[in-house]
Amino acid sequence: MFTKFIAAYREELIISAFVIGILFILRLITIVAVRKLGRKSGINQARISLICRYVTGTAVILALIIESFIFGAQFRELIVIFSSVFAVLGIALFAVWSILSNVTSGIIMFFNFPYKVGDKISIHDKDFPVEAIIEDIRAFHLYLRLNNGDLITYPNNLMLQKAVSIVEKDAIEESPRDSNSAV
């Protein structure tokens, strides 16, 4: 049974191995570049790992799309499948658009964010002004330690929407530390 499958799809399997190999190499190169950029920029390991998982997920989706073409799927068939999936996802994700906004902001902040863990920042918001030390930057939010020692979470998308200034670089050593903080 297995040998019949290999005999029938020999050419497709060879092309598949080649494509998967190239995508694997591209994924490794991208992950190495992201890790170098993260270390050079002083970004913590948790954020670097998160972006690496995004790269891996994108590579897997790309591999599935390419493999479907290799094994004979027609473009029209894939369009119908993807349009159906995206219609359902669009309706489902409309309810959680703020979560997607925070994840997208987290990715943008990884590549272009002038503030690092340990910096004391001031968020200029007329409704909720904040002066705090960045303790951690996650996919959805930041952990900020207020001057009185309280730990708050602040959504990533608001960090990109509000004016933020650095009060003090790498001030985390001076702040009161919570024993279960995830820095």
Q: How confident is the model at residue 175 (pLDDT cuts 50, 70, 90)?
A: very low
Report DSSP letters for the chain, one per residue: -HHHHHHHTHHHHHHHHHHHHHHHHHHHHHHHHHHHHHHHHT--HHHHHHHHHHHHHHHHHHHHHHHHHHTT--HHHHHHHHHHHHHHHHHHHHTTHHHHHHHHHHHHHHHS-S--TT-EEEEE-SSS-EEEEEEEE-SSEEEEEETTS-EEEEEHHHHHHSEEEEEETT-GGGS---TT---
- Asked whether the predicted pLDDT for residue 18 surpasses 90, the reply is yes
Q: How confident is the model at residue 176 (pLDDT cuts 50, 70, 90)?
A: very low
Domain map of the chain by residue range?
2-95, 115-174
pLDDT tens track for 119-163: 899 999 888 888 999 998 888 889 999 989 999 999 988 888 888
Classify domain 115-174 by CATH number: 2.30.30.520
